[in-house]
Chains A and B, each alone.
Chain A
Amino acid sequence: MPDRGTLSRREMLAVAAGAGLTAFVRIEPAVATPASMKAAIRSVVGEAPVKQGKVKLEVPPLVENGNTVALAVEVDSPMTQTSYVKAIHVFNELNPQPNVISVRIGPRAGRARISTRFRLADTQTVVAIAEMNDGTFWEGKADVVVTLQACLETL
C-alpha cells in the first residue's frame, strides 16, 4: 500500500496534467455553441438524466430587438412541502455565454413561475431546466427568431 502522505511522481504528473486540462477548457470561444450549452447544462445537472416536460418557456417566437426579450418560465409543480421546485436555470445556444439566469426558489413560492428580460445574440433555441426537490430535472425548450442581434454590437 502506498504512503498516503506523499505524492508519487506519477500522481504528481497526473495532477499537473489535470490542472493543464482545466486551464485549457476555461478558454471560452467568443460565441457559445450548442456544445458549450450542453456543458453548462451538465455542470448543473451532473450525471442525472433530464426529462422533457413540466417546464413551459414563454418567449415571443419572433423578436425584433434582441436587446430586451421578455422571458417567462413556469413549472408544473404543486409547490408543497413534499413536492416543489428547488431551482430553475435558463440557457441559450448562441450568446457569448450559455447561462442566462439561475433562480433558487422553494415551497414558499406557492407558484413556480418567474419572468425577466434577457438578451439574444442570434436566432436560436432557449432551454429552461427545473430542478425538483426529489432530485429530478425537467427541461423545456423554445425557438426564437431574432432580427436585431444583441451582445456583440459595437458602440
Chain B
Amino acid sequence: MAARALVNVPKTAKRGEIIEIKTLISHVMETGFRHDSVGTVIPRDIITDFTCTYNGTEIFGATLYPAIAANPFITFHTLATESGTIAFKWTGDNGFAAEASANIAVE
C-alpha cells in the first residue's frame, strides 16, 4: 500500500530567508500496546525515522516513537540557501518506506 505523503515547501524564497516546511504522511502508527477484542496484542507498526535533505545534505532528521499520533505531521524550519530539491524520506516497521520531494527556487 502506497502511503500518501503531503509536503508543503514554498515555491520561491529569498536567499537566507527562513522557510517553514510542513509534512504529513498517512500511516496508522499502531503502538503495539493495544489489544484486540480477544486479548491478543496488536503488533507494533510505526514509522521510526524521518529525514529531510536539501540538495543531498541532511537538514533535519527525526526518530519517531509510538507516542506520535497516526498520520505523522511534522513541521520544521530551514534557511533557503540555494535553488534545488528538498527531499523527504520516511522509513518504518515492516519495511515501510516512502519518499517525497519538492523544488524550491531561491532568488
Q: Are A119 and B60 in contact (CB under 8 A)?
A: no
Chain A residues within 8 Å of B57, by CB: 108
* CB < 8 Å neighbour of A117 from B33, B42, B68, B76: B68
Give B residues with C-beta under 8 Å from A. Answer: 18, 31, 33-37, 42, 54, 57-70, 72-79, 81
Interface centre among B59, B67, B69, B79 (most CB of A within 10 A): B67
Min distance, Cβ A110 to any Cβ of chain B, angstroms: 4
Min distance, Cβ A59 to any Cβ of chain B, angstroms: 13
Tally of A-B residue pairs with Cβ under 8 A? 107
Identify 15 new A-B residue pairs, CB closer than 8 A, beyond the known A96-B33, A113-B77. Answer: A96-B66, A102-B63, A104-B58, A105-B60, A106-B59, A108-B54, A109-B60, A115-B73, A116-B69, A116-B73, A151-B66, A153-B34, A155-B34, A155-B35, A155-B37
Chain A interface helix/strand/loop/mixed: loop
Chain A residues within 8 Å of B60, by CB: 103-105, 109
Chain B residues within 8 Å of A117, by CB: 68-69, 72-73
* CB < 8 Å neighbour of B72 from A92, A114, A116, A151: A116
Chain B residues within 8 Å of A67, by CB: 69-70
Assuming the contacts A108-B81, A118-B67, asked whether A101 and B62 have C-beta atoms less than 8 A apart, the reply is yes
* CB < 8 Å neighbour of A155 from B36, B63, B68, B78: B36
Chain A residues within 8 Å of B34, by CB: 151-155
Q: How far is the CA of A153 from the CA of B61 in the complex (A)?
A: 30
Q: Are B65 and A116 in contact (CB under 8 A)?
A: no
Q: Is A133 an interface residue (CB 8 A)?
A: no
Assuming the contacts A108-B54, A108-B59, asked whether A100 and B73 have C-beta atoms less than 8 A apart, the reply is no
* CB < 8 Å neighbour of A97 from B66, B69, B79: B66
Chain B residues within 8 Å of A110, by CB: 18, 77-79
* CB < 8 Å neighbour of A99 from B18, B67, B81: B67
Give the nearest-CB partner of A89 in chain B.
B63
Q: Are B72 and A103 in contact (CB under 8 A)?
A: no
